[in-house]
Amino acid sequence: MSSAAELSDSEAEPGNTSDRPYAGGIPEATVARLPVYLRALYALAERGVTTVASDELARSTGVNSAKLRKDLSHLGSYGIRGVGYDVEYLVYQVSRALGLTQRWPVVIVGAGNLGRALANYGGFVTRGFRIEAVLDSDQALVGRKLGGLIVGHVNDLETVVAEHSIAIGVIAVPAGAAQAMCDRLVAAGVTSILNFAPLVLQVPDGVDVRKVDLSIELQILAFHAQRRSAERFGQATDHTAAEA
């Protein structure tokens, strides 16, 4: 999952696709950072903090404070000079912008290691998502209890989508089965897909796919770790040279 807070300035340049106005006139780069602000705001609210200065919120999210203020201004939120932002109201504004003031019904396709972990995670409910069903093709899994649900058979996917007005489909099946599952979700009317399978899904216009690839995140961390270690090594060499 790419950390929105790490989106570079260049990604927010006009003309870059990530700056394309999103529904509601909010640039996509801003939309990508909103969940990061929301997570920090929830943490503040849990600690009983009622107001937060933009600098403090910026620090806790790793976004520079001018950018954060600009992002929040897209939501019509400007904060009060010398006081900052009302945490509870900002949670509401960010949630509203992200469409989280309503619960989104989700289906998880694949009840293997990943599907089970997702289905068992209680945090989605408080973040605006309700997992309505978990489906699998393995008869040994169908009928098993999982996170308050019973694993259903994937043959019922279309019925489940219609019955629960599913808005988001999560694909947690092996790569070989993912495109077919995606096609079925789309044909059933699902227009938002979160894909964990290691392949690029083909979807028609009007369908949003977000791909999650933890190995890419690890590779990016490895790159930064390597760069830090090269810098340390370089500094040590310079230091030694200066002392000599």
Q: Which of 106, 173, 186, 201 binds ligand NAI (CB under 6 A)?
A: 173
If one asks whether residue 183 binds ligand NAI (CB under 6 A), the answer comes out as no
Q: Which of 187, 214, 230, 236 binds ligand NAI (CB under 6 A)?
A: 214
Place of tokens 């068992």: 120
Subset of residues 93 to 152 that bind ligand NAI, contact rule: CB under 6 A: 109-115, 136-138, 141
Q: Which is nearer to ligand NAI, 30 or 195 (CB)?
A: 195
Q: Which is nearer to ligand NAI, 220 or 236 (CB)?
A: 220
Q: How many residues bind ligand NAI (CB under 6 A)?
A: 24
Q: Which is nearer to ligand NAI, 49 or 214 (CB)?
A: 214
Q: Which region among 10-18, 80-88, 194-202, 223-231 touches ligand NAI (by CB under 6 A)?
A: 194-202
Per-residue 3-state assignment (H helix, E strand, C coil) for the chain = CCCHHHCCHHHHCCCCHHHCECCCCCEHHHHHHHHHHHHHHHHHHHCCCCEECHHHHHHHHCCCHHHHHHHHHCCCCCCECCCEEEHHHHHHHHHHHCCCCCCEEEEEECCCHHHHHHHHCCHHHHCCEEEEEEEECCCCCCCCEECCEECEEHHHHHHHHHHHCCCEEEECCCHHHHHHHHHHHHHCCCCEEEECCCCCCCCCCCCEEEECCHHHHHHHHHHHHHHHHHHHHHHHHHHHHHHC
CB of 218 to ligand NAI, least distance (A): 9
In the shown chain, the binding pattern of residues 141 to 160 toward ligand NAI, with x for contact by CB under 6 A and - for none, equals x------------x------
Q: Which is nearer to ligand NAI, 83 or 180 (CB)?
A: 180
Residues at the interface with ligand NAI (CB under 6 A): 109-115, 136-138, 141, 154, 172-175, 177, 181, 196-198, 212-214
